[in-house]
Structure 1
Amino acid sequence: MRTHLTGQKMFFAGKWVNSEQIIEVRNPQDNSIIDVVPAATAEDMLNCVKEAEEGAEIAAAMPVHERIKVINGAADHIEQHSGKYARTIALESSKTIREAKKEVGRAIQTLRISAEEARRINGETIPFDQSPGSENRIGYFYRFPIGIIGAITPFNDPLNLVAHKIGPAIASGNAIIVKPATVTPLSALLLAEAFSLAGLPAKVLSVITGHGREIGDALVTHPAVRMITFTGGLEAGEDISRKAGLKKISMELGSNSPVIVLEDADLEEAVDSSVSGAFWAAGQNCLSVQRIYIQESVFESFKTQFVERTGEYIVGDKLSELTDMGPLITEKEAMRVEQLIEEAVSRGAVVLTGGERTGAFYSPTVLTDVPENCTIAKEEVFGPVVLLYAVADLDEAIALSNNVNYGLQAGIFTKNIDLAHKAIAKLDVGGIMVNDSSDYRIDAMPFGGVKNSGLGREGIKFSIQEMTEPKVVCFKLSSH
């Protein structure tokens, strides 16, 4: 099946351009080609940065009301063509059509919030007379755009995570170059189309498609690019950090998210929330529930309900409204998950349900008795797998939750406010969801983690802080 998309060209400094080499975009469900996009070269990227240098000046000079108008115009366009955007997400990614529709709604909201935050980039007055000898000085600081931002985005939210880069960048008066995931470039190109039709000046935005090994270094290392914002894996993030040089870096690098279920929890609510959190987008989600620590007194009941609910999940055609879960992004990724589970089983883990692969599909899988020395217990699985553990109490759950090199978000289910606050204080993560799974986020909140889960925070207001710098202004007044 082919779709008729402008994705056959890349958005180069406001123009739609081709390239001699192409990349085939395939549907992970059946590996069919759904479109082709240009495979840009390093030279293309260098030329794009050169154009963006002028774009940064144009963006900085845009009045706030124009930024607001353009961002809202892009949101309007997506809203008016939401079906097209959802279908594109569902075709090129792992998401079902229901999941894709929700992502489109979130992307619209991300842009609306970006437009609102554009009017709230404020400074403060500074009381210089707090320092003796400065009684005749007054001043303030304001925030100014840093210039060119390089954004590298993942496949798992091919529209909304790109919106999280572009929206705040334009709201804060920057130029931005987006390098979308090689396997899911079409949604990013549709987003560029929305901004182009909304009247964004040329050279402010580029979406350059290509292989990371070919164009990534040219973007990351270029001295004119003053910030890299990256969402992806730890290994790639570490590589970018080594190469980027003296520039701002914002990274969200994934997790191995824990959920704690105490004996006073509403088990039905905990099961439903955690099953959804574990298997949304086939588990390819940085907030995905991976480890669940259940107090011993309710472990058997929770396990039974969790396995039963997991077994009800419908896996199949992404475009069917009845489907709960689609394939992983590639068969190679499904094979990787399969190998992780085989390693765990070889060391004593028990498969309670699932554990079967068909091509790129991997059935929702629940494991128990997983030894701590297994890779799947320590690293991000990024697949539809969840591990159940029985614990004596909250203290043991917190200790085990913290015993990994990640710390993005966690969830805890309890009716005891004292225990909830203890978890809030002791869990080493960037966000804690009380009576919800780790897989909860709104686009306005500060989002990010600690340890190997990344650097800095996203969420529109907080991204804008990262994408701007304060400039101090001080007037020395005449003594007359």
Structure 2
Amino acid sequence: MFLAGEWVERDKYLEVYNPQDNSLVASVSAANEKDVLHAIEEAIEGAEVAANMSVHERISILDSAANWIKNNKEKYATTIALEGSKTIKEARKEVSRCIETLRISAEEARRINGETISFDQMPGSENRLGYYYRFPIGIIAAITPFNDPLNLVAHKVGPAIASGNAIIVKPASVTPLSALLLAEAFEKAGLPSKVLSVISGNTRDIGDSLITHPAIRMISFTGGLATGESIMKKAGLKKTSMELGANSPVIVLEDANIDEAVKSIVSGAFWAAGQNCLSVQRIYIQEEIYQDFTEKFVNRAKQYRVGDKFSEETDMGPMISEKEAQRIESWVNEALENGANLLCGGVRKGAFYYPTVLDNVPLDCKLVNEEVFGPVVTLQSVSNLDIAIKKSNDVNFGLQAGIFTNNIENALKAVQKLNVGGIMINDSSDYRIDAMPFGGIKGSGIGREGVKFAIQEMTEPKVVCFKVSN
């Protein structure tokens, strides 16, 4: 692991398996509590070093790390595909996005600005003038998931370095290799030691020490709702940024381009085997076009090619583990036992779960109310937009949503009424660029990622006021 700028080994190891065939990919050192405490102690000094780095030094390091990854792109993509669920084509896209995330971080490093303050707006303050500027928060603990093992780490490390912070990353225990390769890129880029640690290990062994330590001033977590709530209870008086998943709806109205909607939503539902916080889960279709849309959607879903992650012909690989595929299987079976109709899929082969489409799913089933995080979507006919909006909002998540319509008034109504952090017009919920603010409401979390907005979370304003004589 990468402990305060040094590569170290330990006697205990985590074994990393390829979920496609359960073959051993690598063994990585498993951190213990002493390692966490050491990383934090070193990061205290690292935070001072980071805060004192000039802006041009931060820019140079971020650009150099991006260049290193670009020059080794296939190595990074292969690692993502080996340890996780993504096909090699999906992995290459993630590497490209990681490079973009670091480039944006370099650009935003020069734009961490403050403002002048008109103190003389207050009677009696005519002889005062000043401003505020933003300063780094200190040490950030980042806990990242398996589904985007490189770019989601970059979304925490890039803004942290751009804003002059030290950061300790605890990647998902099933996909630590990509995060370690990101650390390698920063080492090659000349990042001062002690600014970054990437410590691999089981959350039960090291999580609480990382979360509760008083020197940690911010926790940036991407993962499940239950874990996020647990972290919030343990963390104490710290800043937190939480992206906790979703149950994303997409609305398709009668005036939509059905073919474009089908193409976009199929991709949005089954990209990365549906293991994506933005993945389409619920589709509400206006009743006038329900049959036409359903036939086209099911036909396209059946054409989705499932198989070897390293084949250029494959559209979808396995889920992250056979256990997760079994969970999805049980959720689908629950819906079918309660009257849902299976339109396609519903097949599990080891860790592979085939693209699955259902309709007539009872509203109290898990597939409707919870985050499925797998390649399963539900279809429901609705008579009008108002009902679609009500149903879309009727869950404890609010990350992103999509609507397909050619009526600007309908689009604007959805913008106003859908309770989410982002709305995609004539696109699926599964759309994001790395520069936009990203996050949700309700059970989808608090705070925003996206480089510029993460930097705001990772810095604090300091007010400076001069009292001058007449």
Is the structural similarity TM-score above 0.5?
yes
Identity across the alignment (%): 70
Structure 2 residues not aligned, in runs of 5+:
none
Indicate yes or no: 2:57 matched with 1:77: no
Amino acid at match of 1:363: Y
Q: 3-state DSSP class of the match of 1:113? A: helix
Matched, 1:237 2:232: no
CA deviation after TM superposition for structure 1 residue 47, in Å:
1.1
Letter aligned with residue 255 of structure 1: A
In the alignment, the residues of structure 2 paired with residue 162 and residue 336 of structure 1 have an alpha-carbon distance, to the nearest angstrom, of: 26
Partner residue in 2 for 1:217: 208
Normalising by structure 2, report the TM-score: 1.00
* 2:358 corresponds to which of 348, 367, 379: 367
Q: Structure 2 CA distance, aligned partners of 1:145 and 1:174?
A: 6
Tell me what 2:23 maps to.
32
Is the aligned partner of 1:421 residue 2:407? no
The counterpart of 1:287, out of the listed 265, 278, 282, is 278
Give the secondary structure class of the aligned counterpart of 1:184.
coil
Q: 1:14 aligns with which of 5, 29, 32?
A: 5
Instruction: Give the match for residue 436 of structure 2.
Output: 445
Mapped to 2, the partners of 1:268 and 1:36 lie a distance apart of: 46
Q: 1:208 aligns with which of 199, 204, 216?
A: 199
Give the alignment's Cα RMSD to 1 decimal.
0.4
Task: For residue 42 of structure 1, report the CA deviation from its aligned partner.
Answer: 1.2
Q: CA deviation at 1:250?
A: 0.2
Distance 1:65 1:181 in 2: 32
Q: Residue 471 of structure 1: SS of its match in structure 2?
A: strand
Residues 37-82 of structure 1 deviation map (CA, whole Å, 9 limit, x = unaligned): 0110011101110110000000000000000000000000000000
CA distance in 1, matches of 2:438, 2:449: 5
Give the equivalent residue in structure 2 for 1:470: 461
How many residues are treated as equivalent by the alignment?
A: 470
CA separation in 2, counterparts of 1:43 and 1:202?
Answer: 19
Structure 2: which amino acid aligns with 1:93? G
Secondary structure (helix, strand or coil) at the match of 1:404 reads coil
Q: 1:371, CA displacement in angstroms?
A: 0.4
Relative to the length of structure 1, the TM-score reads: 0.98
Alignment of 1:290-439 (within 5 A): 290-439=281-430
Q: What CA distance in whole angstroms lies between the structure 1 residues aligned with 2:423 and 2:267?
A: 17
Match of 1:269 in 2: 260
Check if 1:93 corresponds to 2:84.
yes
SS in 2 for 1:380: coil
In the TM superposition, what is the alpha-carbon distance from 1:376 to its structure 2 partner? 1.1
Alpha-carbon deviation of 1:478? 1.5
In structure 1, the residue matched to 2:163 is: 172
Q: Confirm or deny that 1:157 pairs with 2:148.
A: yes
Give the Cα–Cα distance (whole angstroms) in 1 for the partners of residues 325 and 461 of structure 2. 46
Task: Report the AA paired with residue 236 of structure 2.
Answer: G
**1:303-361 deviation line (CA, Å, top 9, x unaligned):** 00000000001000000110000000000000000000011111101110000101000
Alpha-carbon distance, 1:375 to partner: 1.1
1:305 and 1:226 map into 2 onto residues whose CA distance is 50
Distance in 2 of aligned mates of 1:117 and 1:414? 35
Deviation at 1:214, TM superposition (A): 0.5
Please list the CA deviations of residues 202-233 of structure 1 after superposition, one character each: whole Å capped at 9, or x if unmatched.
Answer: 00000000000111111000000000000000
CA distance in 1 between partners of 2:224 and 2:179 (Å) = 19
Structure 1 runs of 4+ aligned residues shifted over 6 Å read none
State the SS of the aligned residue for 2:134: strand
The whole-number CA distance in structure 2 between the counterparts of 1:459 and 1:314 is: 32
Give the match's secondary structure for 1:410. Answer: strand
**Structure 1, residues 154-207: CA drift from partner, whole Å, max 9, x if none?**
000000000000000000000000000000000000000000000000000000
Distance in 1 separating the partners of 2:410 and 2:25: 51
Question: Which position in structure 1 is the counterpart of 2:44?
Answer: 53
Deviations 1:84-123 (A, max 9, x none): 0000000001000000000000000000000000000000
Tell me, what secondary structure is at the counterpart of 1:242? Answer: helix
Q: Which amino acid aligns with 2:388?
A: A
Matched, 1:63 2:54: yes
Give the Cα separation in 2 of the matches to 1:269 and 1:121. 40
Indicate the SS of the match to 1:91: helix
1:292 counterpart letter in structure 2: I
SS in 2 for 1:441: coil
